[in-house]
Amino acid sequence: MTKITTTLGLLLIGNLLLSPPAFAQVAGSTTVLGVTVIEARQLAMGWSVKKSIFGREVYNDAGASIGKIEDVIISPEKNVTYFILNVGGFIGIGGHNIAIPISQIVEQSGKIVLPGATKESIRNLPQFDYASDTVKRDAFVKSAESDLALAREKAGELQKKSALLSGEAKTKMDQKYALLQEEIQVVEKKMGEMKRAGAERWQEFENGLNVDISHLKLTLANLDR
């Protein structure tokens, strides 16, 4: 019994089972684009989402089919975290989707198995619905504003501490404050641009904002060191 692990890279499995991968190189450079022979072997031993996952039946311990895999969900951290199963036939009503953590899925004798699944347990699971772009945007903005609020609170604390210090200690505290303020202003500017762009274009700013917010969090983590 082995747990199934999948990544987007498995979609590239292709001819790796039969031959070494081709590498692309930039003229005059030693940088290799692609995967090494060892990585290719690891890919070949993994699961192809398209060939081995989508459409596969999932069974319970008793060998009864509980549905088919319709999709996989990639988390914001770029990890494959959930299988989306269509389970309509198993519970005797119209088909609907549920989300199952990949950690709960196992492979047994060539079958994909969800141990402990019963009609009642499946019936009690909430239906999975894909989030709309508006919902995703609102969640992203809420998370970013929470990070900004924490950073602003910390900046206020640094100002208060600086007012009580003098000499070199005050200089160091002021430097920390200035660095944090700079990071805050960068995120605030990007947030403003994203909001002005409207709900239809927010994803154009998502990656850049994620990078800036990561820098802000790193600065916060390093302040007390």
Query: How confident is the model at residue 166, as a pLDDT?
Result: 95
Looking at the structure, do residues 86 and 176 belong to the same domain, yes or no?
no
Q: What is the per-residue pLDDT across 80-124, written as a single tens digit (0 to 9) for each?
A: 788 888 887 544 455 788 889 988 988 888 889 999 888 778 878
204: confidence class by pLDDT, cuts 50, 70, 90 = confident
Percent of all residues in the chain with a pLDDT value above 90, rounded to a whole number: 32
Query: How confident is the model at residue 126, as a pLDDT?
Result: 86
Looking at the structure, do residues 137 and 119 belong to the same domain, yes or no?
no
Query: How confident is the model at residue 7, as a pLDDT?
Result: 37
Looking at the structure, do residues 114 and 12 belong to the same domain, yes or no?
yes
> Shortest CA distance to 114 belongs to which of 89, 91, 85?
85
Here the tokens at position 101 are 């953590």
Query: How confident is the model at residue 213, as a pLDDT?
Result: 94
Cβ contacts of residue 103 below 8 Å, gap of 6+? 3
CA-angle at 20, arms to 15 and 26, nearest 5°: 105
Looking at the structure, do residues 62 and 153 belong to the same domain, yes or no?
no
Looking at the structure, do residues 80 and 145 belong to the same domain, yes or no?
no
In the chain, the amino acid numbered 154 is: K
* 3 state SS of 17: helix
- Per the structure, the complete domain to which residue 56 belongs is given by 2-123
Looking at the structure, do residues 92 and 43 belong to the same domain, yes or no?
yes
Query: How confident is the model at residue 137, as a pLDDT?
Result: 84
Whole-angstrom CA distances from 221 to 120, 152, 158 are 45, 14, 14
Checking if the pLDDT of 206 tops 80, the result is yes
What is the pTM (predicted TM-score) of this model?
0.48
Query: How confident is the model at residue 172, as a pLDDT?
Result: 93
Looking at the structure, do residues 97 and 139 belong to the same domain, yes or no?
no
Checking if the pLDDT of 133 tops 60, the result is yes
What does the pLDDT average to over 195-208?
83
Cα(192)–Cα(186) distance, integer angstroms? 10
Q: What is the per-residue pLDDT across 19-60, written as a single tens digit (0 to 9) for each?
A: 343 433 333 333 344 445 554 554 455 556 666 788 889 999
Looking at the structure, do residues 90 and 164 belong to the same domain, yes or no?
no
Tell me whether residue 128 is in a domain. Answer: no
